[in-house]
Amino acid sequence: MAESLKQERQTKKTEGSLAPDKQGKERAASDLNTEVGGRSVLIFVSCPHCGSSRVISFDYEGEWFTCGQCQGTYQVVS
Ligand SMILES: [Zn+2]
């Protein structure tokens, strides 16, 4: 079941320069019932800037995300 792929991770605000090609996809957790494509593992996180609930498709360490609510950038804490 997809349920087993759900994970929760800590996030932090990004520091320094960000590689444009490493920007990942995220969405509001409330939008989760929209189609989820690909084989990425979905991770439930909270935006470190505004605290909103986000869902990211996390593909590799170093990936970063832009919060759709506050436009703040964040990374997953490894
Ligand atoms: Zn935010």
Locate 3 and state its tokens: 């349920």
Tell me the CA–centroid distance for residue 78 and ligand 1, in Å.
Answer: 19
Ion ligand 1 neighbours, Cβ < 5 Å: 47, 49-50, 67, 69-70, 72
Q: Identify the DSSP state of 23.
A: B
CB-side neighbour CA atoms (13 Å) of 69: 16
CA 19-76-4 angle, to 5 degrees, is 125
Tell me the CA–centroid distance for residue 28 and ligand 1, in Å.
Answer: 10
Query: Where is 13: in which H helix or E strand?
Result: strand 11-13
Query: What pLDDT digit, counting tens, does each position of 10-50 carry?
Result: 999 999 999 999 999 999 998 766 555 566 678 999 999 99
Query: What pLDDT digit, counting tens, does each position of 50-76 carry?
Result: 999 999 988 888 899 999 999 999 999
Which are the contacts of 13, defined by CB distance < 8 A and separation ≥ 6?
48, 49, 72, 73, 74, 75
| Total domains present in the chain | 1
Domain region containing 12: 2-76
